[in-house]
Amino acid sequence: MKVLQKEINEIVRSCAEDENLRRVVLEIHSMTKEERNEFFKKMEAYFSQLSSSVDRQAYKFFSILFKDDVRNIIVERIKVRLTKGS
């Protein structure tokens, strides 16, 4: 988990600043396990054909969000940050 700490912090900061990105994270969080699995399959198929650094970064972002324990931490931190207004 320590390795992901930097990524978690960056996602939380970005979501606090960008409503659209926050909406994506919260939408994935609200999906059922089956919906997430289906979305993950589609995401892997899509990104398997792409190779730019931006594509790799986007794939990493989504891969992090599909880890339930990490996503839960991200969503909780987003909510706390928004509640504090910072």
pLDDT of residue 53: 94
pLDDT of residue 4: 85
Percent of the chain with pLDDT over 90: 87
Tell me whether residue 65 is exposed, middle or buried, using C-beta atoms within 10 angstroms of its C-beta: 0 to 12, 13 to 18, 19 or more. buried
Q: Is the pLDDT of residue 8 over 70?
A: yes
- The whole-number average pLDDT for the span 15-31 is 95
> pLDDT tens digits, residue range 35-66?
999 999 999 999 999 989 999 999 999 999 99
Average pLDDT value over all residues in the chain: 92
Q: Is the pLDDT of residue 78 over 90?
A: yes
- The answer to whether the CB of 7 falls within 8 A of the CB of 64 is yes
Say how far apart CA 78 and CA 15 lie, in whole Å: 7
- The whole-number average pLDDT for the span 64-85 is 92
